Amino acid sequence: MLNTRALSAQIIYAVLDEQKSLTACLAQLPKDLSASQKGQIQDFCYGCLRQFPKLNRLINQLCHTKLKPELNQLRYLLAIGIYQLLDEKAAEHAAIDETVEASKQMGLYAFTNMINAILREFQRERDTLPLDNPQDVQATHPNWLVKQLKQAYPKGFKKIIAANLQQAPMWLRINQQQYADAQSYYALLQQAEINFIADKKNPHSIKLDAPLAVDKLPNFFDGACTVQDAAAQNAARLLQPQDGERILDACAAPGGKTTHILELAPKAQVDALDIEVERLERVEQNLERLNQQAHVIAGDASEPQQWWDGILYDRILLDAPCSATGVIRRHPDILYLRREDDIQQLAQLQHKILKQMWQILKPGGTLVYATCSVLPQENKQQISQFLAQTSDAELQSIFASDTAADPGWQILPNQQNMDGFYYAVLKKQA
């Protein structure tokens, strides 16, 4: 079997050269890999994609030439080796030897000596090499995205770019149905020597000091908690679900928000809708783990006539398809896969879905619009346009500053350690 460096180089090649999803590639790893091996592959892939302009610059400098595109698997293997030498978590000789071994496993026999020489030269010369270049950071983001971020956030776009290159924290949502008093779960974490910080406003929301495998979390498989970023945890809270209500979680997969709705309102009638049948399996798994019941529907939110039973909903959570530009630190492949013309297409789809969801909401009902984007055309501009065009739509203020011209709550990446997210709460007039 290929070692972790060879597997990682193949995944990076699949993302950068074949335009495949990093999440999908990681999901296809061999089943017999250990948790530590999977963790190392994830670290190599995430780290190299976040730092690729810097790593590639160093590779070109050490090779004294630019490698041809047909040698990109070699390039990515060298990137992994340099990344690990920079990281300093492993012994340097092990990092070099394992990278050379990976080249043999990948059939790059003609380049094993070259790989060994380049990595050893980096090892010797690293103190004299220009490791940090301000241009490397901005080069991680495509020009169109830098331009849009600069236009939307002229004073803060550099902070957004920097935040996108950081490792995301691990947040947990403690199950309120099992632990009405969050302190009781805190005690289990402390017994397991797991350090964390609790959200002062939401004690059932905690941030771990360091990410760890879920099987290390007390009672995780019995539904004690769910891994969910603090920003995403606001969705169900803003929806304010009530027992007995009929609620739709549109675009529900993988189910984190569906299960949160049911934690807050366990007697609500919840429909969980998503267009991707395979991802709905995750919804089913999460519901089962938390011992919850929901009606899971495979369907297109933009075409409700195909699946809707004709009964209006009291509340709808619309976590709309978006550019995911607020969660780049969790999905660095977005930097390489997203295209500028995607944004307009997504905005049009969001507008269509929003209009359709509004038609199946009861008069007096509430709709929460959410995205994990930081781009105004998907967020504030989208809601302003909808309010202007929809006579029975009323903006519910999240903050006193909310207006139809400047609606909703835009969270930027790493604000209070959260992912980038947007929320707007709309009321349908009775």
CA distance 72 to 77: 8
Q: Which long-range contacts (CB under 8 A, 24 or more apart) does 340-348 make?
A: 340/142, 340/144, 340/145, 343/148, 343/375, 343/377, 343/378, 344/377, 346/321, 346/322, 346/378, 347/377, 347/378, 347/381, 347/382
Q: What region, left, alpha or beta, does residue 248 occupy, with left being phi > 0 and alpha being psi -120 to 50 degrees?
A: beta
DSSP label of 415: G
Cβ atoms of 283 and 256 closer than 8 Å: no
Please give the full DSSP string across 162-200, using - where no structure is assigned: HHHTSPPP-EEEE-TTT-SSHHHHHHHHHHTT--EEE-S
248 forms bridges with which residues in the sheet?
271, 316
Count of helix runs (H) and strand runs (E) in the chain: 17, 12
Q: Please list the helix, strand and coil fractions of the chain in percent, rounded to the nearest 5, in that order.
A: 50, 15, 35
Continuous H helices in 22-128: 22-27, 35-50, 52-63, 72-87, 92-105, 112-125
Burial of residue 430 (number of CB atoms within 10 Å: 0-12, 13-18, 19+): exposed
Residue type, 251: C
CA distance 94 to 90: 7
Look at residues 365, 360, 409 and name the one whose alpha carbon lies nearest to residue 383.
409
Token pair of 58 as six digits: 């160093």
Judged by DSSP in three states, 374 sits in coil
Judged by DSSP in three states, 254 sits in coil
CA distance 260 to 270: 11
Residue 372 annotated in active site: yes
Cβ atoms of 48 and 14 closer than 8 Å: no
Which listed residue (25, 48, 251, 372) is catalytic?
372
Cβ atoms of 62 and 118 closer than 8 Å: yes
Residues tagged active-site = 372
